[in-house]
Amino acid sequence: MVRVPENSSHQAHASSASDPEALRAIAEQLAAEAAELVRQRRAEVIEGQARDGAVSTKSTATDPVTIVDQESEELIRTRLATLRPGDSILGEEGGGAASTTGIRWVIDPIDGTVNFLYGIDAYAVSIAAQLDGTSIAGAVADVPGRRIYSAARGHGAWQHGPGGKPERLRCTTETNLGHALVATGFGYDPARRAEQGSIVAHLLPEVRDIRRIGSAAIDLCLLAAGRVDAYYEHGLHPWDWAAASLIAEEAGAVLVTPPADSSGSDGIVTIGAAPGVAEAFQGLLGEAGALRAL
Ligand code: IPD
Ligand code: CA
């Protein structure tokens, strides 16, 4: 992983304001730092004695947020204010820049908060840099897996395991949709969930199997790593997909993402698939009535 020195902000900003590789290095560094905080604070807050008042809910009673989500986002925002003082920021917990002009950092401080709460090992920190609404760099830290996925537009997608050499990511060469392992997810709104349930029932007999892992960012990184063949979900927020969709695309996947200024409430579908099944997968989603917003 590339280390970003504390005092490098001025040089980095002046020489590489929108250089994808420089932005990727920052995203990786900050995702790693936030992942470390999430690991430590989970032990203290969720497993330890400090749980009282640490968990509340957001959009619905099943949509949790914890003080660790807030602390992780705060750490990333503070570091960006030093390293990239002129850029705008949109974060899941703190909100922010609706405008997609210029460089905008898009942060999910914990993607997979339900897994984080229950101790299921699939949650991540996701950080993307977008230029005029297009993701050009991003990193997703798989917190329990101590693994970082990252990409810079035009420079490929990579995985850094604990202590190992970076490995280039490639999605699968699967060509038979009937053999495709498909990941998906469900939003927190019960009415949307009912429709998502009908769609998944249509897909299930037509593919190898379905996975509901519980983190959209990890789903898309698994697509990049060739560990699932396709992914779709309605109603993602920009912070769910901004980094990981670029990682999947740079690994060869075919992506359909919502407009950068859409919000989860628009119910637009995000689709990613290995190239050999992408057309058939979109056809199947069309038959299932899944190409519309829910
Ligand atoms: C959620 C996860 C989940 C997906 C939901 C997201 P959160 O994000 O990515 O897999 O199905 O749509 O909202 O709430 O854990 O940050
Ligand atoms: Ca999320």
Q: Which residues surround ligand 2, an ion (CB under 5 A)?
A: 108, 111, 240
**How do the pLDDT tens digits run along the chain, 294 residues long?**
444 444 444 334 434 689 999 999 999 999 999 999 999 999 988 887 666 678 888 788 888 788 999 999 999 999 999 999 999 999 999 898 777 789 999 999 999 999 999 999 999 999 999 999 999 999 999 999 999 999 999 999 999 988 778 999 999 999 999 999 999 999 999 999 999 999 999 999 999 999 999 999 999 999 999 999 999 999 999 999 999 999 999 999 999 999 998 988 899 999 999 999 999 999 999 999 999 999
**Residue-level pLDDT at 11:** 39
| 194-229 per-position pLDDT tens digit | 999 999 999 999 999 999 999 999 999 999 999 999
Q: Report whether residue 240 contacts ligand 1, using a CB cutoff of 6 Å.
A: yes
Residue among 215, 233, 234 whose CB has most ligand 1 atoms within 8 A, to mutate: 215
Residue 177 phi/psi, 5-degree rounding, is -60, -30
Q: Which atom of ligand 1 is nearest to the CA of 239?
A: 16
Distance in Å, CA 192 to ligand 1 centroid? 14
> Which residues pair with residue 105 across a beta bridge?
89, 129
CA separation for the pair 277, 281 (Å, rounded): 6
The CB density around residue 206, as the number of other CB atoms within 10 Å, is: 15
Cβ-contact 291, 203 below 8 angstroms = no
User: Hey, what are 283's tokens?
Assistant: 């056809």
Q: Report whether residue 109 contacts ligand 1, using a CB cutoff of 6 Å.
A: no
CA separation for the pair 153, 131 (Å, rounded): 11
Q: Report whether residue 115 contacts ligand 1, using a CB cutoff of 6 Å.
A: no
Q: Report whether residue 123 contacts ligand 1, using a CB cutoff of 6 Å.
A: no
Q: What CATH class has 177-287? A: alpha beta
The CB density around residue 125, as the number of other CB atoms within 10 Å, is: 33
Whether 9-168 and 177-287 share one fold: the answer is no
Q: Report whether residue 267 contacts ligand 1, using a CB cutoff of 6 Å.
A: no
Chain-centre distance for alpha carbon 165? 23
- Look up the CATH number of domain 9-168: 3.30.540.10
Q: Which atom of ligand 1 is nearest to the CA of 115?
A: 15
Residue among 196, 240, 241, 266 whose CB has most ligand 1 atoms within 8 A, to mutate: 240
Q: Map out the domains of the chain as residue ranges.
A: 9-168, 177-287
**Residue-level pLDDT at 2:** 44
3-class secondary-structure state, position 174:
coil
CA separation for the pair 166, 268 (Å, rounded): 34
